[in-house]
Structure formats: C-alpha cells, structure tokens
Structure 1
Amino acid sequence: MTDFSPAELARLREIAALDLVEPIEDPQLQTLVERAARELDLPIAALSIVLDSSQLFMASTGLGSWLDEVQGTPVEWSFCRHAVASKTPFQVDDAEQHELVAHNPLVTHDGVRSYLGIPLITAKEEAVGALCVIGTCPREFSTGDVARLQTIAEAVAERLEARRAATA
C-alpha cells in the first residue's frame, strides 16, 4: 500500500465523496468541456479527475486516437496533476520547451504542444482535478484566456459539487 500524506488522503477522500472514481455521463459537464474548447479556440478540452495512479477523463472533446478510447492516462503523464498539486492554473505555451513535460509521451508521441489547466476546487477546498484545453501547436495563453477557462472551471466545480448532494 502506498503511503499518502494527510493532504493527499483528504483530496482522495473528497474524490470518493463526490463519487468521481469511475467515468460518469453528464451532458452538462460535456457541454461545459465543449464550451472550453470553443471559447479558447483549441481542438481538445477535457475534465480530468486526478486519482492516485491515473487521471480519468470525465468529459472530453477532440481527444481522438487511443486517448478517446481509454479516457485517461497514468498519473505520471498527467499535465493536470501540476494544476492539482499547486491549486493554481498550469500553463504550457510550448510543451517541447517546458522542463516539466518535454519528455512526456503525450508530447513526444501524441503531439501535445500547448496546455492550459485550471484546478477544480471543491467547497472543502480540495483540488480534485482540472479543466484543461490542449493544442497541437505552441500557443501563448493570455490573461483573458486564463480568466475565460477559470469561469468555465468554476461552473464545472459547481456541477461536480452537486454530486455530493445527490449521493448524500
């Protein structure tokens, strides 16, 4: 068994309390993810829940290939884990040049070149995942881009929070 810090245990318990350990079908979440891709004019967007050993895509658009089929990745490949760990936006303008992700298989084999992820913070102040947009070309994200994605991420977090009431 892996030893988790008290903070990580609290985060994982929050994921369980919101019943986010398996894929869910939620048309409202899907609509918000599609809105993120459209508003930021990028081909890919996803709602990622970062578990202990993997990230799970609860909703996505534009993933294509094997990612669309498996709906997740090992946590080591997750860009979203950086937003979750810091509880702040994680921005990658050029993945091939970014020290944290340049050697990531999603960059070297799958063509990820730009990424912006906003952590999904619950009412209990836990970051359970991220709403992200992904590009296949380098891109400099503006403060307006971050603000637009933040607004959509807040709506996603509210929708996830509604699951707590539904499971209570």
Structure 2
Amino acid sequence: MDPLSSSDPARLASEQRRLRLQVLGLNTVEAEATFDRIARLAASFTQSPLAMVNFINDERQMFRGMYVPSGSPDDKVSPESGGIAFDLSNLSREAPGDYGFCPHVVAQGSQLALDDVFDYPRFKGNPLVNDLGVRSYLGTPLRDNTGMILGTVCVADMKPRTWDRGLREGMQELTETLLSDFKLRDSLLAQQQELFAVFDGAPFPIMLTEGPDHLLRYANGKQGSAFGLVPQFSPGRHVLPGLEAIGVFGAMDDAFHTGQAATLARASIQTYDSHTLQDFNFLCTPVRTSPAAPISGVLTVAMNTTGQDFAGSEQRAFAANVQERFERLGAGGLPGGMPGQRAESAGYRG
C-alpha cells in the first residue's frame, strides 16, 4: 500500500507537496549540484555507500541529489557482513511514489532508522531490498522554510548496521542546512513578481515553460488573448497544438537541450484576436534556477511581424530588455517557481 495515498488527508498532502515542488522548481528529476553535495556529505558522514536527497510528489520520487559508490559491486560488501553485492552504478534518479522507505518517512513525518530491514516484517519485502540489496536505512524528513515536508535526505547500506544517536542527529542537522536554499528560492519568487508586472504589460505574447515537456509556468495576457488560455503547469505542446504545428516547441526543444537561444522566424498562425493569419518571430531563451543548476525551462517571446520586413525597433528593444532582466535575476539564483495565470482550457483555431 502506498503510505502517501492511503487516505484523503494523505492524498491532499501529496497534492499540496507537488504544487509546492512545482513552485520551487523542484518537481523534476534533474540533478542539482547543491543536492548532490548534500548527498555526498551524508554518505561521508555516515560512511554509507548510498545517499540521496529525495523529493516526492503525488506520483514519483525524484533523486535530485545522489551519491553512489564507484568500483565494482564486489567491493561494496563482504560475505561475512550479511549484505548482498549489487551494482549501483546505473541507479536511476527517479522511482515510483510507493517505492522504498522514503514514502514512509514522509507519511509519518519523522526520522526512520532501520538497523536491519529483515528485523521488520513490514519492510522486509520492500522492493528496495530485492532490487538493490539494501539491509539498513536512515531517512530524515526534508522540510522547507514553511514547515512542509518535501521529501527526505537518506542513507542506506547493503549490510546491517546500527544508526546511533550521533548519526541520527547529524543527519537531522545536515538536512536543515537546505533551509537556506528554500528561503532563497522564496525570496527570489517575490522579486519575480516585479518582473512579471513588466511581462504583464508587454505588447506581445510571453510565456515561460518548465522542463523538457515545456509545462506552462507563466503566460502574460497577450499570450492568452493571441494563442489561448490554458491551465498552469499543463504540457504546452499538448494544450497549445497551434504553436506545436508551426514549430514553436521544436525551437523550444533546441533552446532547452543546447542551452542556446533559438529563433523561429516568420511563422504564420491564426490567433484568437485576429481573423487572418498573422506572422510571428519567436525568440526562445533557456533559463536556469541558479548559475550552477541545469537548464530548468524556456522563456519564449513572440513578436508579431505581419506586414513588416522585420520586427519593429520598439518590439525588439522590449524583448531584449525582458531577456536581460530575466537573465539578471537568474544570475542571482532564480527559483524555478513561476506564478502564472490559470484559466479554462481553450482550443486553437486554424
């Protein structure tokens, strides 16, 4: 049974956690240097071969921080230790929502220490034991600056061992060091509101998407009136088929995967606010949640060039200003959360 969805309150908590992760830009599986460092410190401090910073939404677990040992699986345990040799070199950074022991930590809201999984009938048959050979586990709830549990910081070993008080308290203190990261993300979210005021007054469409699936994080009013209103966090290429048909999401793919701005020029589409085909230039710029973080999304500015040989100077200047201000904010550690408009879904014409 999934410990995170066994009751209505649990399901509500899972949904709230997913929304919070989306706002913070943490609802994806991409590795992040800050979390990998915490995982490495946890493994070193506890002398464990496996450590993770695990964020859990209502569907899956995302190991944005991970430490696994190098070397062959035969080096990890000895026969007399009671453990089993497993190769962890290709361990995935995501898992189903009910996999392993971390969901139990989140559900109970407190630290879970298992000296020997085989001593606990409740956990002995967990797939983590069969898949990875885990025999002992220590997981600590990962709370943000609002007190919400977002996941865990955990360590595991392939042999039975005792998690003494010093190790448990040390893991708690290490987990709490991430509070500063969450506070920074929230602080910059507030700064983004000023930037979105500029976006909202823009004379042409602007949207911000998250991840390789281009989930819609933010859209200004002009974006909605021209291309349709869609729910926040919906997959862009599915809810905006008109833009997909003319190649906008292909340009966004290029920007996201190459880290370079991509342009789609002279793309024609019939918009909601016009009865004739309109020509647009789309400028797609990759964005990051912080200088050291992987690319988190794409900022797309659409400039109407209908009847023009090129985009007007005023439009080009505004677009350049938008890009510059956005990148300046990102250089200070831009959080992934983009409060955006939520509206009823609307289809495309043409």
TM category, shorter: 0.7 to 0.9
Matches within 5 A, 1:7-156: 7-62=13-68, 64-67=88-91, 70-156=92-178
Q: Distance in 1 between matches of 2:137 and 2:35?
A: 19
C-alpha distance in structure 2 between counterparts of 1:114 and 1:158, whole Å: 29
Greater C-alpha radius of gyration:
2
Cα distance in 1 for residues equivalent to 2:24 and 2:142: 12
| Post-superposition offset of 1:149 | 0.5
Distance 2:30 2:89 in 1: 20
Distance, in Å, in 1 between the alignment partners of 2:135 and 2:178 is 24
The unaligned stretches of length 5 or more in structure 1 are: none
Q: Select between 107-116 and 90-99 the one with higher mean Cα deviation.
A: 90-99
- Given the superposition, is the C-alpha separation of residues 115 and 161 from structure 1 closer, same or farther in structure 2, using an over 3 Å criterion? farther
Instruction: Percent identity, please.
Output: 27
The one-letter code of the counterpart of 1:43 is P
TM-score in terms of structure 2 length:
0.44
In structure 2, what is the Cα distance between the partners aligned to 1:161 and 1:124? Answer: 9
Moved more, 42-51 or 103-112: 103-112
Unpaired stretches in structure 2, ≥5 consecutive residues:
70-87, 189-333, 338-350
By how many angstroms is 1:56 displaced?
Answer: 0.9
Q: CA offset at residue 161 of structure 1?
A: 4.1
- Aligned CA-pair RMSD: 2.1
Q: Secondary structure at the match of 2:20?
A: helix
TM-score, length of structure 1 as denominator length: 0.87
Give the number of equivalent residue pairs: 165
Distance 1:25 1:161 in 2: 20
Give distance in 2, aligned partners of 1:34 and 1:94.
23
- Provide Cα deviations, 1:21-64, integer angstroms capped at 9, x if missing partner: 11234322211210110010111100111121211100101172
Q: Which has the higher contact order (CA 8 A, sep 6+)?
A: 1
Mean Cα deviation higher: 92-101 or 109-118 = 92-101
Q: Residues of 1 paired with 2:163 and 2:142: CA distance?
A: 19
The more displaced of 82-91 and 24-33 is 24-33
Q: In terms of mean alpha carbon deviation, does 135-144 or 97-106 score higher?
A: 97-106
Q: For residue 140 of structure 1, report the CA deviation from its aligned partner.
A: 1.4
Cα distance per residue 1:3-22 (max 9 Å; x no partner): 77433332222111111111
Whether the aligned pair in 1 keeps the contact of 2:15 and 2:58 (CA below 8 Å) is: no
Q: Secondary structure at the match of 2:176?
A: helix
Q: Aligned partners of 1:100, 1:51: CA distance in 2, in Å?
A: 23
Q: Hey, what's the Cα distance between the residues in 1 that align with 2:90 and 2:59?
A: 19
User: CA 1:114/1:83 → structure 2, altered by over 3 Å: closer, same or farther?
Assistant: same
Name the amino acid aligned to 1:51.
N
Alpha carbons of structure 1 residues 91 and 7: separation in structure 2 relative to 1, 3 Å: same
Deviates more, 1:152-161 or 1:116-125: 152-161
Q: What letter corresponds to residue 140 of structure 1 in structure 2?
A: T
